[in-house]
Structure 1
Amino acid sequence: RGIAKRNGQGEVIRMAGSEFDVSVQRAQREQLKLAASVFENITEAAVILNANGYIINVNNAFDQLFNSEEVVVDKMHFSEIFSISQRKIIKDLLATHPLKWSGETQIHTLNHDAIACKLTVNHVKSNDEITHFVCLLADISETKKTQSLLYDLAYKDSLTGLPNRLSLNSYLVSQIGRFKHSDTQLALFFIDLDNFKFVNDSLGHKAGDDILKKAARIITDVIDEDCFIARLGGDEFVVVMQTSNANINVPDVAQTLVTSLKQRVDIQDKKVMVSASIGIALYPNDGVDSDTLIQHADAAMYLAKEHGKQTYQFYTQYLTQKAMDRMQLEANLDQAIAREEFILHYQPQIDISSGAVIGVEALIRWQPANHSLVFPDQFIMLAEENNTIIDIGHWVLRQACSQAKQWLDCGLIFEAISVNVSAKQLQSDELINHVQDALTLSGLEPHRLELEITESFILHQPDAAIARLHRLCELGVTLAIDDFGTGYSSLSYLKRLPVHRLKIDRSFISDIPHDTNDTAITQAIIVMAEQLGLEIIAEGVETSEQAEFLLGNHCKQAQGYLYSKPLTANDATAFLGNKTSMII
């Protein structure tokens, strides 16, 4: 900037002026422009507040997050964008004039959407006085959703939404630690649905899932909100509650659960009975750690099963030894075939009119070393659980066919040998080969082998089941339905099955002819079998009166203690020999 001195002719003869350096101002202006550009374009929502916490400027990201493009947020107090429960916290935070603060919070947009955010607060000072706050908000909603999903996967059961085993263990550890030095007691209820495996195998896994979800809802409705409910897996649930409260009576709670879980539910157009057995363990009396409490409640649950199911039992020290025996039995089961510990007993099947032997049923027994004889009801379920049933079933087929061939070669007279086949065997692709193998190795004619199947197998994937039964019949063997009337009988399936005989379950025979209901059911089964052209045999016949009733109602075949108990191979040989000599 300057002034020119001119002469009379207008020519510049002298200059006077001053010079200023503006590079600093230009640099500052550039920095301000850059800061403004950064402020507007950063991905985090940025808010500038005055010293009193009122909004004086926001960036584009804030407008998008808060949906405030058409609303003036200037002069709004910063706390007003947060959920009501957090507004006082934000006001108090600003009042403390933090140098820098960071944490998670939640804002509410103008659309009333709740958004999880990470908030960072910085203050700006001039002459040691706070003039502004600069706040950054980062949307962490997706991160929170991912964390929640990962938590659910780790700690929740995907089917019922209840806490899972991992969550239960964590809860028990925390509760035991909390009450370790107090008089507070905990009750752990181990709930197991009765006959769930039968329903699952009969009606399929979807039906089983529906029952599990129904059971979870029932338990949740019955139990107080401050109690802990978890699903361990399968058909097992656990409830944990404090028992110090005088209003809580553990037996009453257990009975309420048993009563509430006992009901008929509609599953796939069928009425299915749901019930449960419950075992109870108490902290600290029955265990001072989570694993022990669960194990002891589990043992008590098995005792409830043994007492007829649909009941509850408390843990006692006796159950620990019993559970250990069961575990040892299961461990020994794996080696039983290799050790040749299985044996077959044989129960004759009789023509009621003549007393002649028409067949023999092979019944497995287990004779572990240094252990008493173990009957099927004590180990077959274990065998199905650990999948040794396939190998055991193969052994039974080979042994039974071999024994039958030996008897026939000796001139003993009977029509066929019957072998029970489990649902797991029938679902296995190996069964056809196992039957062929047993017939080939023994030389037994196929029509001399009868396979007894259960109704439950038929209702699980019926088309596949019926196809497999037809393949078995193509081998030349015959089929019978065992324990008829105790499962979910379906006449529509029965008429499609390639079976030649029905076995009336012993539960209907034991009280005839005195029980009118059992009498009516037995008569109906006999009439139905006649109409379908099927043979019929009654099992569990123990009195002459029962035999006379059956014969009078056109059931000509029977087996039971009236005629013979299950016999060892040697005793069965003698029995058949006596009967054969009477015929000859």
Structure 2
Amino acid sequence: MGIARTTLQRPLSRRLMPLAYALVVMVGLILALTWGALQVQITLAGFLNGESLWSKAQKQSVIDLEAYATGGNAADLADFRRNYAILETDRWARDAIASGSFDQVKVRQAFDRGGVIPEAIPGMIFILDHFSSAPHMSGALQAWYSTDDSIAQLGDIARELQDAHAGNGLSDAGIVQQRNRIHTLSRYIEPRTNIFSLEIARGAAWIGRILFGSVFGIACIAMLMWLSMARRILVSVRGSEERYRLLFDSAADAIVMVDEASGRILDVNHTASVWTGRDADELIGDRFVHLFTQPLSGQQAGRAASNALLGADGSKRPIETQSSLAHWGNQPVRQAIIRDISERVAMEQERRVAAEALASIAEGVIIADAERRVISTNAAQVQLTGFTSKALQGKRLDDNRRLPGGKPLPQSIWDNVAAGHNWLGEVQTTRNDGSSYPEHLSISTIRNADNQVVHYVAVLTDVHEAKASQRRLEHLARHDPLTGLANRAEFERCCSEAIAVAERERLAAVVLFIDLDAFKIVNDSYSHAIGDRLLVKVGERIRRQLSDGDVAGRIGGDEFTVLIPRLGLREDARAIINRLLVTLSEPVLVDDYEIVLSASIGVAGYPLDGDNAAALIANADAAMYAAKTEERNTFRFYTPMMHADTRRRLQLATELRQALARNEFQLVFQPSIELRSGRIVAVEALLRWQHPERGEVLPGEFIPVAESLGLIRRIDEWVMQATCAQIQAWDLAGVPPIRVAVNVSARWFGHPAFVDGVSRALQSRQLSAQRLLLEITESAMLRLGDDTERTMRTLHTLGIEVAIDDFGTGYSSMSYLKLPAVAYLKIDRSFVTGLPGNTNDAAITEAMLAMSKSLGLTTIAEGIETEAQHDFLLRAGCVEGQGYLYSYPLQANEIQHLLCPNQPLVPARLRLVPPRRT
């Protein structure tokens, strides 16, 4: 550190030398002798230092070459060549000086590359050039010359090894041979190196003794004079240094003085210490490049370069450096001025971010001057309008924009914006190709320090898609997404408007409530996708029958509504109703299926049937239910009695939920007779509801309600448990074992837990599977689809038999008759009623009996009420029969009375319910 600061002061001392003119001769002589002695010592020290470096390079080259001979590693060869280059450089400098004609600069550079102390290089050149034959020097040089051939041989060995490794490599013997050569050369060179060092040291001692005596004498004389003069000089120098340090440390920029040769810091000012967070003592001696995050290579003197200054805490300060080369004596020093550019970098970053944001923003942006003439635009604006920024230069930004009505943008907009407000609104913008689009335009201003408008900024957004999406959303909010008809909310709104018009003009407005008959069967039999496409076609058919002003809607499932405004009377809607019934009953082709449906329509009109939309729709719904219940494929006008029926259904639904909890259900049993013998072979369990107030309620009244409420499965399970319990009770009472048939709904039959439920019911009562016969209707089996076959196979595995009930009334799918569990076929009463007189019923019944016989199925005829029917069926081959001819449904104890072996035999079957004889 002290050396660095002394170096700083030396040029000033020399500038003050004229003050000592009186002592110049004496001091000059002392300085000359002293300088000569020092230079000699420095030179000898340089020789020793150079020899040390040369010796190290020689030894390291031997080590590297031996390692390369052994391993062939290119890195070892590179290390050898680096150390060998030092030996060659020193040898070349020595020989150049010895030749007598040499370039002083090149020789200095050669010694400098060899690592010789820079201060010693001039003296070394001088001694080698003029005193090479001086005592001890000649011996040292002779020892140096003697090693040239050996060093050259090391270079030859290196080339041989490189060629060998580049080829097929060296054998082990070759490696040993080369290593022996290297060792031999090393042993030759080393003692001569020692001789060189010894001779140089002796020469230094000899010259030192001579010079010491001379210098000592003169120095003593000059010392007194020098001390007197030095006192005055130091006072002057101290003042100069203080002024220099004051200016140096007070600079706003950081200043760093750097040794050009080593790159180490010689001095720093106060600002540099503050910015780096390190004291000057810590910085001096450190390498200049360590202050920055980026390398300094490529930086040109006198030119500013950007970088980042590292702080002691790891912080980074954006800076700009500019350096210039100066000399302190013979020492090149680089003065680096470091300027803080944090504010400039921040501003540039903000500008860059703003520019990138403007370029990448999805909305179009136009910047115009105070006259509204376009200055610049972003890429999004070009995509929106097709106008490039160049094409818009000088044009007013409102030239191709109009209000939605076609009028130009009024001056009030610009006055409002100039007053300090932003303007937002929709305009119609013309593109470069002449087309136009709706645009959301936002206009704001940029003002100067005097609050005057200098720029307008317009942000553009194409709202065509947004408006289209809004229209689509509004349409979806008011229309059914499947059929495109009005939904319930929109239909009620239209009804309200029609009622208001009818009230004002004293007219009628009619609402039709349309429900498709048996749509659920179609949905279950085919698929919901087919059902959806069917609903779309139904909606199209309804729409085609309507006039302008009429409104069609779909309010859920297969329920459609129609509004017919401006009628004179409610009854005037008959014509369109009849057209709807006809068109909806025509076959509908959906994919590859031809589907035939019908519809039930309810009619309610203002003002007779309601004075608001909700009332009209509800009353039309009630009328539709009456049409579906009574006939189907027809229509009914609303009457107040229909709501009474609706309320009764709702009341029935409430009571039905309580019936299971209160155990109000009971079973009755109708015998099934073997036609040939008249023997009772089975009974069918029939459900009855014993209502506490209304008495017995028949299944036809409450079963549809139970199905709509989802209670039918619980009722089926109760029937199954009660039937199995009754079979067990009869067995314990000694009643002969007979088959008991139980009706099963499609909902329970298709449930995953159905088979397990039946199996558990039988096991809980320890009953054989042959005691139970499950009856399911043909239409229910069709509704279940593929699940039917799976369930039937499982029932067959358990030994449970199934009877197809109401056969012939559905779609008569013969494939179900082949299922394993199907063992019985029940002929519906609709075919038995016309026997034997109706030839069609007779032909159909005989065909079913013949088919059943060929398939091995047992036939059971339902609804036998006359002897003629009995005789016809017996002759046709029917096995069993049920009907009032034999018995009404009976209580369990009555069945026991008929079948118990301990009771007297029951007379002929006709005594139970005597038939009417003809």
TM-score by length of 2: 0.53
Aligned to 1:92: 407
Are 1:265 and 2:580 an aligned pair?
no
Supply the distance in 1 between the matched residues of 2:698 and 2:433 (Cα, whole angstroms).
70
Q: 517, 531, 541: which is aligned to 1:194?
A: 517
CA contact (8 A) 1:458 1:466 kept: no
Judge which range, 153-162 or 183-192, deviates more.
153-162
CA contact (8 A) 1:194 1:310 kept: yes
Aligned to 1:61: 380
Aligned to 2:240: none
What letter matches 1:539 in structure 2?
E
Q: 320, 326, 336: which is aligned to 2:643?
A: 320
Give, in angstroms, the shift of residue 94 of structure 1: 4.2
Aligned to 1:15: none
Compared CA separation, residues 78 and 252, structure 1 to 2 (3 A): farther
Aligned to 1:353: 676
Supply the distance in 2 between the matched residues of 1:79 and 1:239 (Cα, whole angstroms).
50
Judge which range, 504-513 or 56-65, deviates more.
56-65
What letter matches 1:161 in structure 2?
G
Compared CA separation, residues 383 and 106, structure 1 to 2 (3 A): farther
Supply the distance in 1 between the matched residues of 2:749 and 2:383 (Cα, whole angstroms).
63
Specify the SS of the correspondent of 1:383. Answer: helix
- Counterparts of 1:21-100 in structure 2, within 5 Å, are 43-45=362-364, 60-67=379-386, 90-92=405-407, 94=409
Aligned to 2:627: 304
Compared CA separation, residues 73 and 332, structure 1 to 2 (3 A): farther
Are 1:391 and 2:689 an aligned pair?
no
Aligned to 2:53: none
Compared CA separation, residues 235 and 370, structure 1 to 2 (3 A): same
What letter matches 2:606 in structure 1?
Y
Are 1:223 and 2:546 an aligned pair?
yes
- Counterparts of 1:359-370 in structure 2, within 5 Å, are 359-370=682-693
More strand by share: 1
CA contact (8 A) 2:826 2:860 kept: yes
What letter matches 2:743 in structure 1?
N
Are 1:427 and 2:750 an aligned pair?
yes
Gaps of 5+ in 1: 1-33, 124-131
Compared CA separation, residues 166 and 64, structure 1 to 2 (3 A): same
Deviations 1:527-548 (A, max 9, x none): 2211211111111222222222
Q: 744, 766, 785: which is aligned to 1:462?
A: 785
Deviations 1:284-305 (A, max 9, x none): 3212233322221111111101
CA contact (8 A) 2:502 2:509 kept: no
Give, in angstroms, the shift of residue 177 of structure 1: 5.1
Supply the distance in 1 between the matched residues of 2:632 and 2:639 (Cα, whole angstroms).
18
Are 1:291 and 2:614 an aligned pair?
yes
Q: 885, 888, 891: which is aligned to 1:565?
A: 888
Aligned to 2:726: 403
Cα RMSD of the aligned pairs, angstroms, is 4.2
Supply the distance in 2 between the matched residues of 1:112 and 1:389 (Cα, whole angstroms).
68
Say how many residue pairs are matched: 544
CA contact (8 A) 1:416 1:450 kept: yes
Judge which range, 105-114 or 222-231, deviates more.
105-114
Compared CA separation, residues 494 and 118, structure 1 to 2 (3 A): farther
Specify the SS of the correspondent of 1:385. Answer: helix
Q: 232, 252, 256: which is aligned to 2:555?
A: 232
Aligned to 1:381: 704
Compared CA separation, residues 61 and 436, structure 1 to 2 (3 A): same
What letter matches 2:722 in structure 1?
Q
CA contact (8 A) 1:420 1:453 kept: yes
What letter matches 2:811 in structure 1?
Y
Give, in angstroms, the shift of residue 175 of structure 1: 4.2
TM-score by length of 1: 0.80
Supply the distance in 1 between the matched residues of 2:633 and 2:767 (Cα, whole angstroms).
45
Q: 599, 624, 627: which is aligned to 1:276?
A: 599
CA contact (8 A) 1:390 1:424 kept: yes
Higher gyration radius (CA) = 2
Compared CA separation, residues 407 and 261, structure 1 to 2 (3 A): same
Compared CA separation, residues 356 and 156, structure 1 to 2 (3 A): same
Aligned to 2:280: none
Specify the SS of the correspondent of 2:788. Answer: helix
Aligned to 1:160: 483
Q: 118, 121, 126: which is aligned to 2:440?
A: 118
Judge which range, 187-196 or 436-445, deviates more.
436-445
Give, in angstroms, the shift of residue 36 of structure 1: 12
Compared CA separation, residues 353 and 89, structure 1 to 2 (3 A): same
Supply the distance in 2 between the matched residues of 1:71 and 1:183 (Cα, whole angstroms).
67
The answer to which structure, 1 or 2, has the higher relative contact order (CA under 8 A, 6+ apart) is: 1
Judge which range, 389-398 or 370-379, deviates more.
370-379
Supply the distance in 2 between the matched residues of 1:145 and 1:81 (Cα, whole angstroms).
23
Give, in angstroms, the shift of residue 316 of structure 1: 0.7
CA contact (8 A) 2:862 2:882 kept: yes
Compared CA separation, residues 95 and 337, structure 1 to 2 (3 A): same
Compared CA separation, residues 370 and 463, structure 1 to 2 (3 A): same
What letter matches 2:553 in structure 1?
A
Give, in angstroms, the shift of residue 520 of structure 1: 2.4
Give, in angstroms, the shift of residue 245 of structure 1: 6.2
Compared CA separation, residues 173 and 137, structure 1 to 2 (3 A): farther
Supply the distance in 1 between the matched residues of 2:382 and 2:904 (Cα, whole angstroms).
99
What letter matches 2:528 in structure 1?
H
Compared CA separation, residues 412 and 545, structure 1 to 2 (3 A): same
Give, in angstroms, the shift of residue 219 of structure 1: 1.1
Specify the SS of the correspondent of 2:659. Answer: coil
What letter matches 1:500 in structure 2?
A
What letter matches 1:216 in structure 2?
G
Aligned to 1:28: none
Give, in angstroms, the shift of residue 343 of structure 1: 1.7
CA contact (8 A) 1:116 1:141 kept: yes
Supply the distance in 2 between the matched residues of 1:216 and 1:423 (Cα, whole angstroms).
29
Specify the SS of the correspondent of 1:242. Answer: strand
Are 1:330 and 2:653 an aligned pair?
yes
Give, in angstroms, the shift of residue 413 of structure 1: 4.1
Supply the distance in 1 between the matched residues of 2:681 and 2:396 (Cα, whole angstroms).
96
Judge which range, 296-305 or 462-471, deviates more.
462-471
Judge which range, 203-212 or 313-322, deviates more.
203-212
